[in-house]
Structure 1
Amino acid sequence: MSLTLRIFLSLVAGLAVGSLLAAYGSPEAAEVFAAVADPIGGVWLDALQATVIPLVIGLLFTGIADAAGSARASRLAGRALLLFGVLIVTGGVIAVTFVPALLGVWPIAADAARALIRDDAVIPAAATLSAGAWLRSFVPTNVFAALAGGSMLQLVIFTGAFAMAATRLPVDARQRLIGFFEAVTQAMLVLVHWVLMLAPIGVFALASQVGIKVGIGAIGILTHYVAIVIAVQIVVIVLIYVLVALMARQGVLAFARAAVPAQVVAVSTQSSIATLPAMLEATTRGLGVPDNVARLVLPMAVSIFRMTSAPANLAVVLYVANLHGIVLGPAELAVGVAVAFAASIAAVGLPGQVSFITSVAPIALAMGVPITTLPLLIAVEMLPDIFRTLGNVTGDMGVTVILARDAVAEDAPLEDVPLDSGA
């Protein structure tokens, strides 16, 4: 049984046990059960939070270093990275405009929302900053203080600048530095794996508290959450087809027909790298993309570009913010888009549960949104994750046919593009 399924079953079991206790047990029994389950869920949640910042820093450093190296390999690689960046940011802007509008039309049930919020969730106080103070807040005066304080935006900016500076070092020094961060990342991934192995216990404990508070009605709010996250991904997927219609030579109908086999593989495997052979077949034979272009752009896209992931991650954070009654202004939304862009590069190639935490938690921390609800949302990530992979694969093929329009024959494929697994 996969970890994803075990986590989901733990959620169902926790909600069921909590609901039965609330409906048929005595208040004393529910109180005793909560006194045991609450610290168990809290300890697991604390362990999960402890891994977020060091893992994101390691992933972001190596991801940016790899991307910078790819950009220098050829002109086509540089154009590909530029297009990747523009589309990820565009998807983020769509998310921060579409999701609040959708939640305004289809709001979260207030009673269920209160049940999902942990009593120990810390909601940062709103702060009013001048434009100058807001800009200065991007740069840490003391990176170690930012690290200790969990100032996610400052850490992301510093890590990105540090990684770009590392690409200018002599080869030996650069490789030693990259090797250090790769080692930190690998060690943190082992630690995260250990924590996630206990996820069924932690999620059961957390879900049982929700079941005691709101009963089986929690299923409704989780279904509402899944629908909101899927909706924003569908909007982004539609955008891909619009861009192909406007910018590719092949035409949107030809693209749609050729993409179907790869999309079927994406849905069945939930892995972009597993879909790479089908994408190569669809773009080269089905759409006539030059072989050298497809073999350069598609591996880069699988490794760096995830068009639907950043909007979906932002949708999760916006949903949680709405859950807590937090009103996000333009400054917080802009910060969210920036960190979502960085996190989408950092989390490529990770398993679904790890990717969810490393992508969503930094955005939430940067926007001042509590992350205590995220473990429950991991348990229902299966269906949104299918749409993430579907959208990412469609986006990978879309950018390939767009870039093929102006590609020149001299552009040669990269020899050492990293191929990571995952959505």
Structure 2
Amino acid sequence: MVNNIAKRVLLALVAGLVIGGGIQAFAMPEGTIQSYIVNGVFHAGGSIFVSMIKLLVVPLIFVSIVNAVCSLEDISQFGRLGVKTFTLYLINTVIAISVAIGLAMLVQPGLGANLKVADGAFAVSRTGIPSLLNLVVNIVPTNPFQAFAEGNILQILFMAIITGIAIKKLENDETRSVSKGFSLANSVMMKLVTMVMSLAPYGVFFLTARLGATLNFSSVFSVLGYVTTTLSLMAFWLFFLYPLVIFAVTGIRPRAYLRKAREQMVFAVSTASSNATIPVTFKTLTEKLGVSEKVAGFSVPLGATMNMSGAATYMVVATMFVANAYGVAFNSTELITLAFTAFLLAIAAGGVPGSVAVTVGVLLHALGLPIEGLGIIVATDRIIDAVSTTTNVAGDIAVSTIVAKMEGEIKPLNKDAGSVTTGKIKYSRQCP
């Protein structure tokens, strides 16, 4: 099903660009086709799809964060293990955001695209970007209903966090009941995201067809630059940084590690879902890297919930691409605001296909950037989201091996540095 949707999205992307490019090349600029097809049908179809994504934002963020906080109650049982795992996941995300901002500032994806927003709406929203101080002060809402109605994401995040903490402080039976309720609600939200993203081929076609009919060559080139920048940064994490971390901790050489993790990476690319990859990640850690089941059983589900280095990279570069494409320059305070907001939203990103594109829309709204820019992000989402998911789950492996080494919960390596020995069972260097 997922692979079928991926093929359909790719086909829709190509078809939309070809048809839109043909309209731009052969149709009159102010003719019937531009007026009724491009600015009518294509615009309406794309807008409906984006609105459906925006519809999910507030309930998705609140429910997923409460569920994530409730899932951390095992930390009291795992002691040092939980604290170390939690801290390393947060550090990993912070580093990813910092590097992404630095590279995006250097490369400036989207610069020169010169996209426009009709009716000056962008100029109005731009004035609303808060300073970091105001952001922190206003994170505590005075009216929760107003926060939900206005879509104030940081206030919603705050309410979700304290709600999760309150649930954890209930009696055991009460905690389990309420936690189960939010777990079910989170499953419903993930299903809603999946349902909406199942319409992605149609939404992508309308969005890209309109883009192809209206964007000039420099704008198309800017989109390709954005995709290349994002994928290159994630490739650095996947094929350089994480393999070196694994080598430093376990002694497994980078090439051997990449062979061992190949099944996990292929599965992550094909499903674009951190949640769906949990069993394969667990198998890779325990059977191929020698991490104990105790560590893997705790760190892998937690990582699928909150270790989102790939998602953080995706959100930051996408947001800076939209800003550059619309001619917006962030100052230092706004960059800090971007980093802080992306950090919170990365933790809230759902582990299902398309969820990061939703949170990109949240980030654009929070920073006062035009939501119209989400059309390009959604159009290229399937490619970037797949690599983003792979980066996320590779980070789960890196953090899990570090924690296992620190806790003495990793099996000794054989001399060939490509296999581990666990009692009488030897896991060979061969790929599964």
Counterpart residue identity of residue 323, structure 1 = A
Identify the residue that residue 340 of structure 1 maps to in structure 2. 342
Query: 1:378 matched to which residue of 2?
Result: 378
CA shift for structure 1 position 189: 4.0
The question of 1:35 aligning with 2:35 is answered no
Aligned partners of 2:393 and 2:131: how far apart in 1?
41
Superposed displacement of residue 186, structure 1? 3.9
Residue type matched to 2:232 in 1? A
**CA deviation digits over 1:90-137, x for unaligned, max 9?**
21122222211221xxx5352x4427x677864523358677544312
Contact conserved, 2:111 with 2:324, CA < 8 A, in 1? no
SS in 1 for 2:115: helix
* Farther-moved stretch of structure 1 (223-232 vs 211-220): 211-220
Identity level (%): 24
Following superposition, the deviation at residue 22 of structure 1 comes to 2.2
Structure 1 match to 2:151: 150
| Residue pair 2:66, 2:182 contacting (<8 A) in 1 also | yes
| Aligned: 1:72 with 2:76 | yes
Alpha-carbon RMSD across the aligned residues, in angstroms, is: 3.1
Distance 1:274 1:47 in 2: 24
Q: What CA deviation, in whole Å up to 9, does each residue of 1:216-254 have, x standing for no partner?
A: 7654333212111112223444333454455x2x23x53
Cα deviation, residue 308, structure 1: 2.1
Q: What code does the residue aligned with 2:308 have?
A: R
The 5-angstrom pairing of residues 45-124 of structure 1 reads 45-66=50-71, 68-75=72-79, 76-103=81-108, 107-108=109-110, 110=112, 112-114=113-115, 122=122, 124=125
Contact in 1 for aligned 2:110/2:219 (Cα 8 Å): no
> For structure 1, which runs of at least 5 residues remain unmatched after alignment?
410-423
Aligned length: 399
- Partners of 2:305 and 2:52 lie apart in 1 by 28
| C-alpha contact 1:261 1:278 (8 A) present in aligned 2 | no
Contact 1:22 1:213 in 2 (8 A): yes
Q: Residue in 1 aligned with 2:397?
A: 397
- The answer for unaligned runs of 5 or more in structure 2 is 410-432
For the Cα contact (< 8 Å) 1:15–1:215, is it kept in 2?
no
For residues 7 and 184 of structure 2, what CA distance do their matches in structure 1 show? 30
Say which is worse superposed, 69-78 or 381-390, in terms of deviation. 381-390
Instruction: Report the AA paired with residue 367 of structure 2.
Output: M
**Distance across 2 between alignment mates of 1:265 and 1:132:** 42
Look up the SS of the partner of 1:108 in the other structure: coil
3-state SS of paired residue (1:52): helix
Matches within 5 A, 1:18-417: 18-26=20-28, 27-29=30-32, 30-33=34-37, 34-66=39-71, 68-75=72-79, 76-103=81-108, 107-108=109-110, 110=112, 112-114=113-115, 122=122, 124-126=125-127, 132-214=133-215, 219-237=220-238, 238-244=240-246, 248=249, 250-251=250-251, 254=253, 256-270=255-269, 271=271, 272=274, 279-280=281-282, 282-284=284-286, 286-350=288-352, 352-353=353-354, 355-408=355-408
The answer to whether the 8 A contact 2:306-2:347 is kept is yes
**How many Å apart are 1:80 and its aligned residue?**
0.9
Relative to the length of structure 2, the TM-score reads: 0.80
Q: TM-score, normalised by structure 1?
A: 0.82
Distance 1:55 1:130 in 2: 26
User: Residue 114 of structure 1: SS of its match in structure 2?
Assistant: coil
